[in-house]
Structures are given as structure tokens and as C-alpha cells.
Structure 1
């Protein structure tokens, strides 16, 4: 079976995982069918590598991974290909903004996730990948967004309607998946990218087929080529059945007819 789409790029939270943080048996079954059909399945997540790895292992994936919204690209699990670090000066500035508003924040360094309740102030002594804020106060979040935009040099997205996630400018899932395509010798037109939040938007816009989950944020649904069922109703299984394996059968049938 020849697949039109060669790479399935999967966001994790709100996409691959249901609300209980699990891959359902149905979704796992269809991912394995896609792999058997020769499709590369790549986890493309805002999570850190160590948080994403158990799910890659559950699915038996040995393919590249994109973690921390594109700050890291892995040639294969445990084999780092590229890492983009954030300027510690920016981390300090973003920490001070969190203090100014008194809101919850987190920052990913190479060794751990630093939050408001375990922040030790050692910014210069670490290598940083991502910073994030969480607040359900729309007014504060809007002011925060404007302040971050004024700083410049930042890629600002979210992984839920109530947070903001910040990476270095140019570091995003689309850039990460482009590097994965080079590693695999394929084109972005051969990619199906699936997600639910603004940190998925760049890759959904640039992939051959951009897919929004049924639970996706409004902007993501508007920009996607198709919308499937939610993360709690096996939307990924639908993607694979309708848009990957069905396309592969059509191509196979056409090839046989030509022969």
C-alpha cells in the first residue's frame, strides 16, 4: 500500500491524548496500522522530551520527535538532532512580568520544569527552552500578550485558551516538522499535521493536510483543512482511516489499474 501522506505529525495534549492523559486502545490500534502501512508517526508537542517519551514507547515509535514546541528536534528517541535555547536575559524579564501580575508561570530548562512554587532564581546557571504563563483573567492575559510582543524576539503561542507559551522567535512546530521532513527525505506536502491549540497553528497551516480536532480552539478550526472528532472520541483514528489509509488505497488501486 502506497500512502500519499508519509508523515503524521501529532500534537499530544488535547489531540493524541484524551482528557485522562491516555491514548485510547482504538487510537493506538489505528496508529499502528498507519505505521504498518509505511507512514512515519511523529509526536509534535509542547511537552519536554521526558514527558513525551513514555507515549512514544507505548506506540513503539522509533521515528523523529519534536518537543517543547520545536525547541528540540530528535532524530529518534534519545538521539538529539537540534536544540534551540532561549536567552537567559529574556527568561529573567519574563519572570519579572509574572511577578508584576502575580500569575502562575513555568519555565523549561534542560533539567526540569521551574514553577512559581520551586523557582530558585538561578537563571544564568541553566539552559532554557520555553517559558509559559497561566491565567483565566482575560484582561491580564491580553496585557501580558501586548507586553511580550513589545519585547520582540519571541514566538508566542498557547496550548490552552488560558495560557501563553513563549519560545525563541522562529522556533515552532512547523520549523521542527520541516527539519523532520529533511531527515526523512520527504516534503511538507506529504505531511498530515493534527492539533488543537495555537502552538499547532503554524504546522497545520503549512502541512499538506492540516487537521483540527473537534475540541480545537476556534482559530485552529478556521485555519485547518478538515475538522475531525474530539480527543475524547478518537479523532486521530478518524484522521488515519479517512485521510491517510483511505488515500493510500486509492493510490494503490490507481497504480494497479495503470499496470
Structure 2
């Protein structure tokens, strides 16, 4: 297969647990772009926290942020954005309050925590994604079931089945796979020409969708189950080692 796009998750995949990039990863991501491949950074992070990673790499590349709610071109232009309807924002706020769960709102205007003093002012912002997080799995489970029952939201639960540690909530029909599909149509890349790297449940559909889905060895069982290949992430360089093999094979 002649690959045309490399889509890379950040935390736990390209970045190590300290949020840094190994020399091996950085080298081969740069080599991939230099060879003519489209390199895309795909993350649950807000764009404001992805740009510094792009700067560390010394590259200008497309960005898919907040689990696919926004797509940005390599030169920083917004290509697509999906926001939560106001009705769903108020529902989220109510359910979090009733279950005593703090949340983090990923808005067009920035990222805000519900325990901040000026939080009510943020209700006027454009909400992309919400992260619920609690040490009380029972509260999170109850909130998850209520949100699921609305049938209006995309939910991603992290942690053991039935015992979530955190939940991502975003507009219906959004996700990393859907955003990659939109970007590929813009760039003229076919689905089967995409290599995707990931390590967690917000990467699951992306790995299933891509022509070659590559999961890190520490990924949850259900994520590894949908991947075509599983790679160790020794010294935080699993992406670099794999890219080097892919590119050497392509040039052979």
C-alpha cells in the first residue's frame, strides 16, 4: 500500500507521560512530512494545547482537536467546527451539578473548569467538548446513563467497563474518525491510504477506520482489538520506530 497520510494521537502515543517527544519520534515525523506524506496531529486536547507540540516538532501540519470537533489547516485556518447545542450544554450542567461532578469545558474561547469562580460567565461561550472526571465511579456511571439516554451526544468512557474514571461528551456524529474522513476529502486522500496511531478509547474508531490502525501496547484491550498492529512504546518512541519501518519498506 502506498500511504499518503499519517494521523497521530498525542498523549500516550507521540508524547510520553511527561508530555515530551522523544528524539526518535520527532525525527521520523519530520521525515514523514519531508517525504511528502500528510502528517496530522489528532488529539482530545484543545487546539491551544496542540500548537506547542507542533512548534516542538518544528512543523506546520493540519490539526484535529477536541476529539474531532475542530479541524484546522496547516496554515492555521479553521476548516470545520462542531459545537454542542445550547440545550445539551444546559443538560450537562444540570446532570453534573446533581451528581456533584466537576467538569472541564473545552470551548472555542478556551478551556475552563467548573469550580472556577467565573464559571457561569462561560455559559455564553461555544462549547466543543466536556470532560467529566470524578473519583466516584458510581456518580460517573449514573451521569453516563442519563446522558446516554438523551441520544443526542457522543460519549467516550475511560477506565474499566462499568467503572469510568472520566467521560468525554461531544456533539452527536463527531469523533476523530469522522474528522479524518472530512480532512481526507479535502486533501484528496483515500481512507485506505491513512495510517493512524493511538492508545485510548477516543482513538478506537479512528484505528478501526484507517487503512492501517496502529495501537500502542499499553492501550486498553478493546482498543488493541480493533488495531491492525500493536507496537511497544519503549522509551516513548513507538511511533518513530514504526514510521521508520513503514518508510524504509516504501522506499525499498
Q: TM-score, normalised by structure 2?
A: 0.91
CA contact (8 A) 1:65 1:77 kept: no
| Residue 240 of structure 1 pairs with residue 239 of structure 2 | no
2: CA distance between counterparts of 1:173 and 1:77?
Answer: 20
CA contact (8 A) 2:113 2:119 kept: no
Using the TM superposition, name which of 114-123 and 145-154 deviates more: 114-123
| Residue 221 of structure 1 pairs with residue 221 of structure 2 | no
CA contact (8 A) 1:158 1:197 kept: no
1: CA distance between counterparts of 2:9 and 2:194?
Answer: 13
Q: Which residue of 2 aligns with 1:121?
A: 120
Using the TM superposition, name which of 142-151 and 120-129 deviates more: 120-129
Matching of residues 164-243 of structure 1 within 5 Å? 164-230=167-233, 232-242=235-245
Q: CA deviation at 1:247?
A: 3.3
Q: Which residue of 2 aligns with 1:249?
A: 251
2: CA distance between counterparts of 1:23 and 1:61?
Answer: 13
Q: CA deviation at 1:123?
A: 5.3
**Structure 2 runs not aligned, ≥5 long:** none
CA contact (8 A) 1:135 1:141 kept: yes
CA RMSD of superposed structures (Å): 1.8
CA contact (8 A) 1:24 1:234 kept: yes
- 1:61-110, Cα deviation, whole Å (9 max, x unpaired): 32321111111011224211111111122112112211122122111111
SS of 1:121's equivalent?
A: helix
User: Match for 1:61 among 53, 59, 62?
Assistant: 59
2: CA distance between counterparts of 1:196 and 1:231?
Answer: 14
User: Match for 2:96 among 78, 81, 98?
Assistant: 98
Cα gap change, 1:17 to 1:198, in 2 (>3 Å): same
CA contact (8 A) 2:14 2:236 kept: no
CA contact (8 A) 2:5 2:39 kept: yes
Aligned length: 247
1: CA distance between counterparts of 2:102 and 2:215?
Answer: 28
Q: TM-score, normalised by structure 1?
A: 0.89
Using the TM superposition, name which of 208-217 and 225-234 deviates more: 225-234
**Structure 1 runs not aligned, ≥5 long:** 251-259
CA contact (8 A) 1:192 1:211 kept: yes
Q: Which residue of 2 aligns with 1:30?
A: 28
Which 4+ stretches in 1 moved above 6 angstroms?
none
SS of 2:119's equivalent?
A: coil
1: CA distance between counterparts of 2:58 and 2:136?
Answer: 40
Using the TM superposition, name which of 159-168 and 12-21 deviates more: 159-168
SS of 1:174's equivalent?
A: helix
Q: Which residue of 2 aligns with 1:253?
A: none
SS of 2:11's equivalent?
A: coil
Q: Which residue of 1 aligns with 2:6?
A: 8
SS of 2:236's equivalent?
A: coil
